[in-house]
Amino acid sequence: MQRRRNQKGSVMLEFALAGVVSITALFSTVQMCLGMWHYHTLAYSVHETTRKVSVHGRGCVTGTTLCPITIATIVSNLATDSIGVPANSINVTFTTDSGAVTTCNPITACTNNSTRWPPSSNLDKATGKKFTITATYQYNSTMLSLWPGAVTQRLGAFVFPASSTETIVF
């Protein structure tokens, strides 16, 4: 009987020590998986958007302006392929072979941009020219904000980069 009295409250103490750590590990795993999913989705959408731009003029008549592609069209494709990633957190940079840079920070700022891309200056639109689309996404993890010493960090912010380079084939 004396032994049982000495063990009173031991279950609560064990849960406080092990249960809290286990629950924190579970939530951390979920947050890490969500971040990895956002990163993979961003990388996939940048790759697919770059591929679409590289073959855009494939069925077009050479020398006409029947098949223009605009920044708004490219950004729309990127946002459509980025399922689950908030569009207002994605920043995109378009770079041509000659080094001309167009930036959309965030991509929602370019949804009405009717500028044709790649630009025809410096023959950046010519077949065989390379271009790069680079995107970054800031992922804010709620778990890192609970970590001791995280006050100096911006609530557990990670910046996920994705980049793809293609050659114009049309």
Q: What share of the chain is helix, strand, coil (3-state, %, to 5)?
A: 45, 20, 35
> pLDDT of 47-87, one tens digit each?
999 999 888 765 555 555 566 788 999 999 999 999 989 98
Strand partners, 116: 70
For the chain, what is the domain count? 1
Average pLDDT over residues 35-55: 93
- By residue range, what is the domain housing residue 76? 2-167
Q: What is the DSSP letter of 58?
A: T
> pLDDT of 125-134, one tens digit each?
788 889 999 9
Q: What is the pLDDT of residue 11?
A: 79
- 41 has pLDDT over 80: yes
Counting residues of the chain whose pLDDT is more than 70, the rounded percentage is 79
- 95 has pLDDT over 90: yes
Q: Give the model's confidence band at 158: pLDDT under 50 very low, under 70 low, under 90 confident, else very high.
A: confident
Query: What's the predicted TM-score (pTM) here?
Result: 0.78
- 152 has pLDDT over 60: no
Average pLDDT over residues 5-15: 75
Interatomic CA distance for residues 158 and 137, integer angstroms? 8
Average pLDDT, the chain: 83
Q: What is the pLDDT of residue 56?
A: 77
CA 130, 132, 138 angle in degrees (round to 5)?
175
> In 20-166, which ranges are continuous DSSP H helix?
20-54, 71-81
Amino acid identity of residue 8, one-letter, is: K
